[in-house]
Amino acid sequence: MYEQISHTLLNDILNRIKPEISQQDLRHFYTRLGANFYGIHSLFERLYGKRDDFAQQAQHLVETMAQQYIRRPEKLRQLDLAREKDYNWFLSQQLVGMALYCKGFAGTLQGLQERLHYFQELGINLVHVMPILRCPEGSSDGGYAVSDFREINPEVGTLEDVQALSAEMKKRDILLVLDVVVNHTSNKHYWATRAKAGEKKYQEYYYTFKTRNIPDMFEQSMPEVFPETAPGNFTWDEEMGRWVMTVFNDYQWDLNYSNPAVFIDMLNVVLFWANQGADILRLDAVAFLWKKIGSTCQNEREAHLLLQLMKDCCQVTAPGVVFIAEAIVGPVEMVKYFGEDAVIAKECEIAYNATYMALLWDAVATKNARLLNQGIKNLPVKLERATWLNYIRCHDDIGLGFDDRDILQCNYEPARHRKFLIDYFTGKFDDSHARGLPFGENAKTGDARISGSLASLVGLEYALEIEDDNAIRDAIKLILLLHSMIMSFGGLPLLYYGDEIGTLNDDSYRDDPYKKGDTRWVHRPSIDWEKAERRQTPGTVEYEIFTALKRMIAVRKEIGVFADFNNRELIEVENPHLFVFGRYQLQKVQKEVLVVGNFSNKPQHLNLEDLGSWGTKDRPLVDIYRGESPDLFKNSLVIPAFEFYWLCETV
């Protein structure tokens, strides 16, 4: 929209823009800049308008966007134009992803490129390559303590390898997801080393203080992220002679986004990786971007303004790129990362559905879907042109951040229920076959989170050890049940590498002095490719899981109602062991799929007459996953233990 003040500033900026920029062909850039500049100016002024150097910083912002547009390869510019027309491209049911560590999956980026056929065999067409940037050895936080935002970890390859991987993936129609760690840097980053050397400019890139007075004020309201291994939120740096804010680990320095130079430099990093061929950028730790005394320093309003500004700027330079918000927070806060007071997403188009993940694990432990139904009932509706990223496992731990009110609604006592879940998944509960490990134990509160691979958490490790065929079968059924839930729920399903072949816990991390204190490494394996080859051998665990998931992915891609357009209806049923929802097409309501999951270790039944129209269908029902009719007795659907159905009418 046209607004006089902002467009006067834009005219001034364009009149002063550097000749090496103005002499370029910037046709599409100028069109997008004009369309977005009112929003960009409004946000930038709200965040930084009181500064004396506001006009200078605004000039720098626009020139940064323009320089990265000039560097953007022509093929990516053409892709931008195509995605501007097909603006719902990332909502398609055709997309199925996998997250992996390059080193653990294939050793190097070149090795990963050589393994692309593996994704195609399974049906994966979106690959999240977790952090591959240079980090200090021994203090990398799994790649999230970056010492250089443009330099690849030499153990996995080079920037040219990333470009080659991206090009080959595009030939195969596989999307590339890369991380940008936006909240902090390593204490070995160039900015941090200059700050340590006493340069005031770079000390202002972080939150640094001469005395403990201000840090102590912050500490009164800030929770601890890693109370066991990194208590507190500030670290004394002897070289700099100042306290520095370190919310995660003492070697990760939080960036000071109240300084516009930080925002512009980090936007430059985001656009740099967009130009290397990333289709989707995962923005790490976005909930922590703005710090304010007297608050938890999480989910602040200004953090959302920063993301809106970053999104607007990216839409000018690289509009074909979308953002994932890595914010593992409660559902009410989570939906805000799509954008508040909006109809379409204006911050991040994709957000982790951590609530759904945790609720699924609750259903596994309790063998009922009471809390799962209650929690999903209270999951806020997402915006249009936004989607959930649904997952079972990831590189991180499993948090139990359920809403206490939901737990109470299910007649559980919150503290005791969480204690039960921790005991269950760490194998301390009598009937549990799970082999998880506690992570982030808080001695003050008794809270903990859970580490462990999917297969080990559902009992496959235990079953294989005792060579119990029935227990092995149940564990495999649970693995498939959980995947059926993320494939059909609505959103982008993201598998975790190794889960597709039943990879167990990897205890070798205990022998690494840099990893042994972090139990999350138990589920960050190096893939055993000899074991993976057994996916071709009928009768093996690897074959059973891989083949079933391959079929599930293929069926999902054929089912239009699994695309994500807020077209899901939760169906509450009397049987507490069942999780039931319907998927439908907005334009053709008669095209429906009924999803039914049984989390009990015993068969359950469901009276279709209690489901409204589903009890009066004109034609018989078919399970589209298996291609056969489900078991029915007098209009009562029978669901075997740990099984699921994707049901629709026969044609």
Three-state DSSP at 208 gives: strand
Nearest to 333 by CA among 298, 374, 296: 298
138: left (phi over 0), alpha (psi -120 to 50) or beta: left
Strand 97-100 to strand 492-496: parallel, antiparallel, or no bridges (unpaired)? parallel
> Residue 595's beta-bridge partner residues?
581, 646
- The answer to whether 143 and 133 are in contact (CB under 8 A) is yes
Q: Which helix (H) or strand (E) holds 55?
A: helix 54-71
Q: Which of 237, 279, 326, 643 is catalytic?
A: 326
**Strand duo 604-607 + 636-639: pairing:** antiparallel
Give the span between the Cα atoms of 6 and 37, in whole angstroms. 7
Catalytic residue at 326? yes
191 and 305 Cβ atoms separated by less than 8 Å: no
DSSP 508-568: GGGG-TTTTT-GGGGGSPPP-HHHHHGGGSTTSHHHHHHHHHHHHHHHHHH-GGGS-SS-E
| Continuous H helices in 220-300 | 260-275
What backbone torsions phi and psi does residue 140 show, to the nearest 5 degrees? -110, -15
Residues 285 and 181 sit within 8 Å (Cβ to Cβ)? yes
Chain centroid to CA 523: 17
> 647 pairs with which residues across the strands?
594, 623
Q: DSSP letters of 56-116?
A: HHHHHHHHHHHHHHHHS-HHHHHHHHHHHHSTTGGG-TT--EEEE-HHHHHSSHHHHHHTH
Identify whether the C-beta of residue 540 lies closer than 8 Å to the C-beta of residue 558. Answer: no
Measured between alpha carbons, how far is 457 from 503 in angstroms, rounded to an integer? Answer: 11
Q: Which of 240, 161, 244, 248 is nearest to 195 (CA)?
A: 240
Measured on CA atoms in the order 85, 283, 45, 199, is the torsion positive or negative? negative
10 Å CB burial of residue 94 (0-12, 13-18, 19+) is: middle
Q: Which one from 80, 141, 161, 284 is the annotated catalytic residue? A: 284
Which residues share a beta bridge with 281? Answer: 178, 323
Distance of alpha carbon 255 from alpha carbon 530, whole angstroms: 43
254 tagged catalytic: no
Angle at 322 between CA 320 and CA 326, to 5 degrees: 165
Hunting for tokens 């046709």 — which residue is that? 27
Show which residues are catalytic: 284, 326
